[in-house]
Chains A and B, each alone.
Chain A
Amino acid sequence: MEKILLRQRLSLYGLSLALLCCIIIAVLMGRYPQPGLMPLDQIAADPLARSVILQLRMPRIIAAVLLGAGLASAGTVFQMIFANPLVEPGFLGVSQGAAFGASLSIVAFSSSLWAIQLSAAVFALTGLGISYFIARHFKFGGWVLRLILAGIAVSALFASGVGMIKYTADPLSELPEITFWMLGGLWGTGWKQVNSILPVTIAGMILLFGHRWRLNILSMDDRTAFSLGVAPFRERILLLAAATAVTAAAISISGIVGWVGLIVPHLSRRLLSSDARAALPGSILIGAIYIVICDTLARTLLDGEIPLGVLTSFLGAGLFIILLTRRQIKRGKESADSLA
């Protein structure tokens, strides 16, 4: 056991170091003054270079860290609580609900960051609740299948809701904002946006982190958890709400960024352990690295901006396919099938 714990601890330290390196590279990477790394002497000599780093890149990188850590930890929590390695908040109506809430806020209430975030959170929780409710109440297939099907239906519902809102939105000011949601990106993220999501994201993740071992218990069936002295329903709701709030906060500044919540928990489990005590912190770090890398590519690769959601999906789907075709996850899929 000690051996295992030591290896996990080393891996986590390694990941932390990797994250630090990614952040440093990201700070220096961009398209000013030319595509690529900014020479260090430029930072000393050029006040514009310093502005670029402080006003454009730093808030964006921090947002990327929060986004990645938040979505990945939420994904881990969802997968544990639903005992289903194939879910992510995006599948259960959470992401689409958040996008719907955000769009609705832009068009109907207010464009203030707090209003958007609140609306996103409310509808994200609603989406989750509806998915769960539907899954409980129809009698076809196993739990895994029912939840995914319900989630797909609810996501589609909210997505069409966003479509309706887009139709009525002002194409000059509101529509581009909304379209941006559906593609996902951190373009235009400044300190204002970072500060608006910092409290919820940090508080949420601290709560989830504190429960990281407990998540294992909560992933067991109700009776077993009960026999272990745990009140599963209450604790699960608490953690799901926290994970949803973190997801909604992230989505409120970045739009829908898919695949992170699905793929990063798998990577973390593979690298560290299935035990959420290690997998959750691992997800946080790997998720942050993932988004920092994708976002840096998004703003550096071409002279225009590539939507972040495109890159995370591309990378995420690719990784998913690779993982699916390797033996370990095949086994995981078998146990998932047997739950059905």
Chain B
Amino acid sequence: MKNVHYPRFILFLIIVLTAFPAFSSPGMKYPVEIVDSLGNRITLKEKPSRIVLAGRATLITANAFYLFEEARKDVAAIGHTDQGLGNFLPYLDKDFNALPQLPHEVGPEQVIANRPDLVIVKDLAYPRLGTALQKLGIPVIALSLESAESFQQDIGILGKALGYPDRARTIQSLFRARTDRLESRLDSLQEKEKPRVLLLYYSVKGGETSFNIAPRNWIQTYQVEAAGGNPVWAESHMGSGWKTVNFEQIAAWDPDFIFVTSYRTPVEEFFTRLADNSRWQQLKAMKAAQVLAFPADFYSWAQPDVRWILGAEWMAQILHPELFEDLNMMDEIRYFYRDMYGLEDDLFRSAVASRLDEIRQ
């Protein structure tokens, strides 16, 4: 009799022993000490369950935060995440619209009225909002997310703080796979093979339109380089902030490609005006039909939001189609949303794909 049960028992033991680690908490022990992207030391006594994302540029920290599917339910209040083109996050969390919405310039008291045990802010909001909250003993994590390295580091910080280090590692490796792919394919490119690229921010503020270039050390410049392009404006803007350029300067550069983005409004308006503009028609890029709108689904892909990698990939396969022939851009985007956000295909098609007219198939 015993002989008959033995193998089953051993099998049972084996199953239990291998499954056991999966049942236990994936290695996160609290209290945990975090060093955020500004170098602040934060101690979290327990796993945070009431998280507030607030302050200026919340969309950037939020879109990174929402990569952690299991953490979404622990959001207690959230700041502005609609940049003008629509809000993505309700697609990820059906209870999103029931969350307390905090304004752009929120005061510390309003934040703590939501009883957070962790507040996540963009680094630029830290000096005011962050320090005020720290004084009250609320843990505040500042994230930068302004470059590829910073992104990797900040995802690690989030993973550690939220208690999902494995998920953080997964996100990091997925990202690294994409950046590595770009790097390896473009590795052998000679300098002269890199097309001259100009990335412009088309701004309409208070009735005044202007074209602006990003500083050398911003992510937009990095995106162009990562895509195998030569950012023609980089050397002329070593300062900070968007810098307005006039048409003469654009003509002087006369780049091969011009990509135009406009964060809060659809950029179509610019293109309709282009058609009538004789000056622009003289540009090399115009004649080669290489003046293109930078893609934007819920957000323009030319900012430190998580989608910057998509922006770089999209640019790469436009600048060097022969090196990326095997890639179907729409599929790549779909995989991105699937792996990063857990967005199912049909939801992807209805919510995201419908917004991406600029993607060449």
C-alpha spacing A52/B132, complex, angstroms: 9
Known contacts A34-B113, A51-B137; is A172 also within 8 Å of B240 by CB?
yes
A48 neighbours in B (Cβ, 8 Å): 112, 136-137
State which of B98-106, B280-288, B333-341 sits at the interface with chain A.
B98-106
Contact code string B81-124 (vs A, CB < 8 Å = 1, else 0): 00000000000000000000011111111101100000000011
Judging by beta carbons under 8 Å apart, are A175 and B106 in contact? Answer: no
Interface size class of B (residues with CB under 8 A): 20 to 34
CB distance from A164 to the nearest CB of B (A): 13
Instruction: Please tell me if the beta carbons of B103 and A302 are within 8 angstroms of each other in the complex.
Output: yes
Is there an interface contact between B132 and A188, defined as CB atoms closer than 8 Å?
yes
Q: Is A146 an interface residue (CB 8 A)?
A: no
Q: Quick check: A170 and B136 within 8 Å, CB to CB?
A: no
Residue of A34, A170, A172 with most partner-chain B CB within 10 A: A172
Residue A112 at the B interface, CB < 8 A?
A: no
Q: Are B132 and A56 in contact (CB under 8 A)?
A: yes
Does residue A168 face the partner (Cβ distance < 8 Å to B)? Answer: yes
Q: Is A176 an interface residue (CB 8 A)?
A: yes
Residues of B contacting A309 in the complex (Cβ-Cβ under 8 angstroms):
none
Closest to B134 in A: A55
Q: Is the CB of B131 closer than 8 A to any CB of chain A?
A: yes
| B137 engages A303 (CB within 8 Å) | no
Q: Which of B104, B107, B242 has the most CB of A within 10 A?
A: B107
User: Beyond A32-B113, A52-B136, is A305–B241 a contact (Cβ under 8 Å)?
Assistant: no
Q: Does A318 lie at the interface of the complex (its beta carbon under 8 Å from any beta carbon of B)?
A: no
Residues of A within 8 A of B103 (CB): 302-304
Contact present for B242 and A303 (CB under 8 Å):
no
Query: Which of A171, A190, A303 sits near B110, CB closer than 8 Å?
Result: A303
Give the total of A residues in contact with B, Cβ under 8 Å: 27
Q: Which of A30, A56, A175, A176 contacts B136 (CB 8 A)?
A: A56
Residues of B within 8 A of A51 (CB): 135-137
> In the complex, what residues of A have CB within 8 A of residue B135's CB?
51, 55-56, 190
How far in angstroms is the closest Cβ of chain B from A223? 53
Say if the beta carbon of A173 comes within 8 Å of chain B: yes
Of B102, B109, B113, B124, the contact of A56 (CB 8 Å cutoff): B109
Partner of A171, one of B108, B128, B240: B240
Q: Is A169 an interface residue (CB 8 A)?
A: yes
Q: Which residues of B contact A177 (CB under 8 A)?
A: 127
- In the assembly, what is the distance between CA of A144 and CA of B22, in Å? 82
Please tell me if B239 contacts chain A, counting CB pairs below 8 Å: yes
Closest CB of chain A to B236's CB: distance in Å?
15
A189 to chain B, nearest CB (A): 9
What are 5 contact pairs spanning A and B, CB under 8 A?
Answer: A55-B132, A56-B132, A56-B135, A303-B110, A305-B106
Given contacts A31-B110, A304-B103, 12 further A-B contacts (CB under 8 A): A31-B113, A51-B135, A56-B135, A170-B240, A171-B241, A172-B123, A172-B240, A188-B127, A190-B131, A299-B107, A299-B109, A303-B102
